[in-house]
Amino acid sequence: MKLRGKPEPLLIRGGRVIDPAQGIDAEMDVLLADGVVSQLGHGLEADGARVFEARGLWVVPGLIDMHVHLREPGEEWKEDIASGTRAAAAGGFTTVVAMANTRPPVDDASMVNSILARAAEKAVVHVLPVGAVTRGLEGKELAEMGDMAEAGAVAFSDDGHPIADAEVMRCALEYGCVFGKPIIDHCQEPSLTRDAVMHLGYWSTVLGLRGMPAAAEEIMVARDIMLARLTGGRVHIAHASTRGTVDLLRGARAEGLPVTAEVTPTHLCLTDRLVHDTWYDTNTKVNPPLRAAEDVEALRRALAEGVIEAIATDHAPHHLDDKDVEYNYAAFGISALETAVPLLLTELVHPGLIAPGTLIERLTAGPARILGLGAGSLPVGRQPAAGSAPVVAGCRRVGAGSLRVGGCADVTVIDPGLERTVDPERFYSKGRNTPLGGRKLRGWPVLTVVAGHVVMRDGEVLA
Ligand SMILES: [Zn+2]
């Protein structure tokens, strides 16, 4: 990260500390010093530290987004590491996991090193790279997963594409086991989704658009679960979106298989009806598509029960040119980092559908567990060469989804009552592609602290 030097001590006073990993939900002070959480308790002395008054606000472990497209290298007009990580900071995220489908893709150790080096120079939050499963994301030959794991890849994925070949997936899972890393799959049977642009259902019929059946996702999820059973490898289902997927996950979990899943705020809060209601707004075009109300219902239940353990945004910024075309030709994706928290609070927490502690767990400890960031582990396989180290003075770890004393001082403060209207023109992301523009949302992040450095305050990115 570009944050250098020793951060000033900071006392975050009197907030509602929600740290599910430690079972904490109570009014407390949090003292950050030397880049780590130094004390947690009541009536802590400022002792020369700057003070942030957090009464009435939530103080939570730095949010972790395990599915982000930063577009660098190769598509910097859509996003780059500087703009994407500033968008993350604005959205309350202190760690982002960067997908490998850049141009060229991250499919060998030198590319992993290059992402870490660029991040060391320009990122304002922690960036953890994902390595491709197959060379060139072509779905044929396995990439050098061992080298990439050693260089610091935290997981493997061809995301953007499914791993269509079952034998390739089987081998990937076997290697993944060896390195202890999950294989993240974008589950979609390609033959069922050719030229399709939205969910196959009532609204695709009404609108006359080609639909993707839920079965296209579920066939692949079922296959991956079977391959997890066969190999013992760890499968992580990216952006789960259908009721059938939830049923399959529930079965896998009951069986004790090493299968985890994430869901996006988009799929938790919006339905395919929005394509109709916005009259073919291409900002509603996303892959997997916005699904039916019954799917959204099932996803919410799965999130609450822990069948789905993580919320990830699948932040997919695009240029206006990619979206300002007919629905059939528009690119898939939503710029989501800066609206995730307020959307989730507005749609799920304030109406009482998800408890605050559960929501925060799925944004912190959940993804940390899936990525193996806990237990003080260094996410980077080993210390990279000087100059390329994603290391901040006094803090060589990411926050790992908890405010444990001694852990990296990654903290997010959320004002649950703050109301603001989404204005894509004010995004830090270069991608303004959101269907939420003009929507009034309640519950925004107001402070983002990365390794003790304040990188966002009151919505303004300072780094
Ligand atoms: Zn995907």
Rounded to 5°, angle at Cα 358 from 356 and 362: 115
H or E segment at 120? helix 109-122
C-alpha–C-alpha distance, residues 218 and 354, integer Å: 25
Beta bridge partners of 157: 184
CB 171, CB 230: distance < 8 Å:
no
Does residue 281 register a pLDDT over 80? yes
Q: What is the CA radius of gyration of the chain?
A: 21
The two three-digit tokens of residue 375, written as one number: 């237990």
Q: What is the mean pLDDT of residues 169-197?
A: 95
The two three-digit tokens of residue 390, written as one number: 């994603």
Beta bridge partners of 380: none
Residue of 137, 240, 128 lying closest to 186 (CA atoms): 240
C-alpha–C-alpha distance, residues 420 and 131, integer Å: 37
Residue of 91, 83, 9, 96 lying closest to 443 (CA atoms): 91
Whole-number percent of the chain with pLDDT over 90: 91
Q: What is the pLDDT of residue 397?
A: 63
315 DSSP 8-state letter = B
> How much distance in Å is there from the Cα of 32 to the middle of ligand 1?
36
Q: Which of 281, 314, 410, 415 is catalytic?
A: 314
Q: What is the pLDDT of residue 162?
A: 95
SS3 456: strand
Active site residue 224: no
Q: What is the mean pLDDT of residues 295-299?
A: 98
pTM across the whole model: 0.95
CB neighbour class for 209 (10 Å; exposed up to 12, middle 13-18, buried from 19): buried
Residue identified by tokens 């060139």 is: 136
Does residue 15 register a pLDDT over 70? yes
Q: Write the Ramachandran bin of 366: left for phi over 0, alpha for psi from -120 to 50, otherwise beta.
A: alpha
C-alpha–C-alpha distance, residues 70 and 80, integer Å: 5
Q: What is the mean pLDDT of residues 266-283?
A: 97
Phi/psi of residue 152, nearest 5 degrees:
125, 10
In this predicted model, what pLDDT tens digit does every residue of 318-363 receive, in sequence order? 999 999 999 999 999 999 999 999 999 999 999 999 999 999 999 9
Sign of the torsion angle spanned by Cα atoms 167, 168, 172, 173: negative
Confidence bin at 47 (pLDDT 50/70/90): confident
Q: What is the mean pLDDT of residues 288-309?
A: 98
In this predicted model, what pLDDT tens digit does every residue of 184-214 receive, in sequence order? 999 999 999 999 999 999 999 999 999 999 9
Q: What is the pLDDT of residue 389?
A: 34
C-alpha–C-alpha distance, residues 249 and 238, integer Å: 12
Does residue 386 register a pLDDT over 90? no
> How much distance in Å is there from the Cα of 453 to the middle of ligand 1?
31
> How much distance in Å is there from the Cα of 159 to the middle of ligand 1?
5
> How much distance in Å is there from the Cα of 238 to the middle of ligand 1?
6
Phi/psi of residue 168, nearest 5 degrees:
-60, -45
H or E segment at 443? strand 440-450
> How much distance in Å is there from the Cα of 147 to the middle of ligand 1?
24
SS3 414: strand
Domains and CATH numbers, the chain: 10-59+395-461 (2.30.40.10), 62-371 (3.20.20.140)
Q: What is the mean pLDDT of residues 261-277?
A: 98
Does residue 380 register a pLDDT over 90? no
Q: What is the mean pLDDT of residues 31-56?
A: 95
Other Cβ atoms less than 10 A from the Cβ of 69: the count is 26
> How much distance in Å is there from the Cα of 30 to the middle of ligand 1?
36
Does residue 427 register a pLDDT over 90? yes
> How much distance in Å is there from the Cα of 209 to the middle of ligand 1?
21
Q: What is the mean pLDDT of residues 79-85?
A: 98
CB 396, CB 35: distance < 8 Å:
no
> How much distance in Å is there from the Cα of 116 to the middle of ligand 1?
22
Sequence-distant (≥ 6) Cβ neighbours of residue 184 within 8 angstroms: 67, 130, 155, 156, 157, 159, 236, 237, 238
